[in-house]
């Protein structure tokens, strides 16, 4: 059971978890500018209207500072929370392990993410990644009901092991 709390998103808006009216998809990612995280978040952005239409609010946590995150997340249509001390990671039991990058199942996403971000990075349209807090974080997804119950969760075993949008929508019922 999640007790009600309010966080300030990096772009300034207040974020309440649990939301009294909607499901919350609480995602744990890695660091500001993480190419693998960016690849996944673009899939969320692409289908964001569909996600919100199903009564789900996206909230994404990174273990970077708000200053590091702002240039990377200013165009995202959902709240991003900075947790540089990893307090929420500890509270939710989200781990960092070498297998995050060493698992061969993550390698394709690593290559795709770097390839996708490299052009904008070289043209100065995207800031350099800031791996504060380390590169070995594992993703995690929690679906939280308005009453604070965690109704579904997924703890990744490698850097690109998280719910797809279809899995999220299925978990939401």
For 20-47, how does the pLDDT look when each residue is reduced to its tens digit (9 = 90+)? 999 999 999 999 888 999 999 999 999 9
Largest CA distance in the chain: 46
pLDDT at 128 exceeding the cut of 80: no
Strands (E), the chain: 5-8, 14-17, 23-28, 56-62, 79-82, 140-144, 150-155
| Lowest-confidence region among 4-13, 89-98, 126-135 | 126-135
Q: What is the pLDDT of residue 119?
A: 74
Classify domain 5-172 at the CATH topology level: Glutaredoxin (3.40.30)
Residues pairing with 143 in the sheet: 25, 152
Token pair in block for residue 33: 């500018």
Report the chain's mean pLDDT, rounded to a whole number: 91
With H, G, I as helix, E, B as strand and everything else as coil, classify residue 17: strand
Sign of CA dihedral 77, 78, 84, 90: negative
pLDDT at 56 exceeding the cut of 70: yes
Q: What is the pLDDT of residue 97?
A: 84
Domain map (residue ranges) of the chain: 5-172
For 109-121, how does the pLDDT look when each residue is reduced to its tens digit (9 = 90+)? 878 887 777 777 6
Q: What is the pLDDT of residue 121?
A: 67
Mean pLDDT for the stretch of residues 133-137: 81
For 148-164, how does the pLDDT look when each residue is reduced to its tens digit (9 = 90+)? 999 999 999 998 999 99
How far is residue 60's CA from residue 34's CA, in Å, rounded to a whole number?
13
Q: Which contacts of 124-127 are long-range, i.e. CB under 8 A and separated by 24 or more positions? A: 126/33, 126/72, 127/33, 127/71, 127/72
| Lowest-confidence region among 52-56, 71-75, 105-109, 143-147 | 105-109
- Check if the beta carbon of residue 8 is closer than 8 Å to that of residue 14: yes
Q: What is the pLDDT of residue 101?
A: 77
């Amino acid at each position: 059971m999640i007790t009600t709390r309010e966080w300030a998103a990096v772009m300034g808006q207040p974020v309440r978890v649990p939301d009294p009216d909607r499901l919350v998809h609480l995602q744990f990612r890695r660091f500001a500018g993480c190419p693998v995280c960016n690849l996944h978040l673009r899939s969320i952005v692409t289908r964001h209207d569909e996600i919100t239409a199903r009564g789900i609010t996206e909230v994404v946590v990174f273990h970077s500072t708000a200053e590091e995150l702002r240039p990377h997340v200013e165009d995202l249509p959902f709240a991003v929370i900075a947790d540089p001390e990893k307090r929420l990671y500890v509270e939710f039991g989200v781990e960092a392990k070498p297998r995050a990058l060493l698992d061969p199942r993550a390698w394709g996403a690593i290559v795709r993410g770097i390839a996708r971000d490299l052009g904008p990075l070289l043209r100065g349209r995207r800031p350099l990644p800031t791996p504060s807090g380390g590169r070995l974080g594992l993703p995690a997804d929690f679906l939280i009901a308005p009453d604070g119950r965690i109704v579904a969760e997924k703890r990744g075993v490698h850097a690109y092991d998280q719910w797809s949008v279809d899995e999220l929508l299925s978990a939401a019922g």
